[in-house]
Amino acid sequence: MYQGQLEVICGCMFCGKTEELIRRLRHAKIARRGILVVKPALDIRYGEERVASHNNAEFPAIPIKTPEDILSLVTPHTDVVGIDEAQFFDDSLVEICRNLMRGETRVIVAGLDLDFRARPFGAMPQLLALADKVDKLTAICTVCGAPATRSQRLTTSPELVQLGAVNEYAARCHRHFEPPEEHQ
């Protein structure tokens, strides 16, 4: 059985967070670990019952509405819990992850660390602080090709949560990131 631990995979849009989550889940599957994968029910971009990367890698997942739903899905055979798009969950996710780790579960969380304004997003800052392992991935700036750490929203929506893909967001470096407040 695993020693309980929390791994966080974070970064901007298009940096490969979900792809890395899927890679780790596939390794756990090869190791014959009991796996539970969840994602926010609101994320239906690539299908309701799977996590999928922008590069078409995918893994079966259960859509949930609240972090508390995770606890009802965990069984005595669950060794690994994967959580995708964690930024869309509220702060109760932090305590759920703590409880899972106390139960000797390996928890792997993937999510945006910053929103489209480059501000800390959802429960991610707390999860990053509690993590035993953090991987902050970078994308490639669509303007200059430098390492990108920001998600540039290409639409004018002021809503914090706006699910999107290539036509609605672009990866940007510090130099080419344009905070939305500067355009209003």
Spatial distance between the Cα atoms of 26 and 11, rounded to a whole number of angstroms: 21
Task: Judge whether 47 lies within some domain.
Answer: yes
The total number of structural domains in the chain stands at: 1
Residue 21 lies in a domain: yes
Pairing type for strands 147-148 and 139-140 reads: antiparallel
In a domain, 73, yes or no: yes
pLDDT for 129 equals 97
Catalytically annotated residues: 85
Parent domain of 106: 5-137
What is d(CA 124, CA 92) in angstroms, rounded to the nearest whole number? 11
Residue 157 within any structural domain of the chain: no
Q: What is the mean pLDDT of each run of 10 residues along the chain (184 residues)?
A: 86 96 97 97 74 84 97 96 96 97 96 96 96 98 98 81 69 95 50
Residue pair 142/109 in contact by the 8 Å Cβ criterion: no
Query: How far is it, in rounded angstroms, from Cα 163 to Cα 71?
Result: 26
Determine the Cα–Cα distance for residues 158 and 78; give it in Å rounded to an integer. Answer: 39
> Which letter does DSSP use for residue 4 in this model?
P
pLDDT given at position 183: 43
Decide: 39 and 110 in contact? Cβ < 8 Å: no
Which CATH number do you get for residue 80? 3.40.50.300
Question: What is d(CA 7, CA 135) in angstroms, rounded to the nearest whole number?
Answer: 8
What's the half-sphere exposure (Cβ side, CA atoms, 13 Å) at 154?
12
pLDDT at residue 180, rounded to an integer: 86
Dump pLDDT digits (tens) for 44-59: 666 677 888 877 788 9
Question: 74 in a domain, yes or no?
Answer: yes
